Amino acid sequence: MCLKTSVFLIIGVVLCLSHLSSCQNWETFKSKHIRDSPINCDSAMNNSIFIIQNRCKRLNTFIISDPDTVQAICSRVPGRSNVTSPTSFQLINCIRNSDITPPCPYTSSDENSVICITCERTLPVHFVKVGKCSAAEQKHGLL
């Protein structure tokens, strides 16, 4: 019995690590993607939440908004589904220039667009992409 439990636990951890986005929650989403004012990509991205195994994340999109406005996108999604925001947001895309190990230099690009996010039990848990969710993404909640 203990061996079976250990095997399932190991499989669960491996699956979680192989697709980190499916292990996110609302608090993690807020930390990674929501800011109440414009940011400097170099300082924001050299935070430990964007460095995995001593490698800087290649790209991250920040939503310039208050958390309640972003959370409202998911207010009517009881299960897990990808949803396109009904309105545009001010976004800052931070793109790694070259180095892979910290501290990494980043370039920023600003835009206003709708966003596609994964909602789970009325909360945003994963930033899928800038722009509308595809029909397949909305139907299946694919990441």
Which residue among 26, 33, 85, 91 is the active-site one? 33
Indicate whether 68 pLDDT > 50: yes
19 a catalytic residue: no
Say whether 29 sits in a helix, a strand or coil: helix
Confidence band, pLDDT 50/70/90 cuts, at residue 123: very high
pLDDT score of 141: 62
Does the predicted TM-score (pTM) go above 0.75? yes
Amino acid at 139: K
pLDDT at 84 over 80: yes
pLDDT of residue 23: 64
User: What is the predicted pLDDT for the residue at 139?
Assistant: 67
Q: Is 33 among the residues known to form the active site?
A: yes
Task: Let me know: does 116 contact 133? Beta carbons within 8 Å.
Answer: yes
Rounded CA separation 51/101 (Å): 8
Q: Is 78 left (phi over 0), alpha (psi -120 to 50) or beta?
A: alpha
- The more confident residue out of 64 and 142 is 64
Domains of the chain: 24-140 (3.10.130.10)
Q: Which of 126, 127, 128, 133 is catalytic?
A: 126
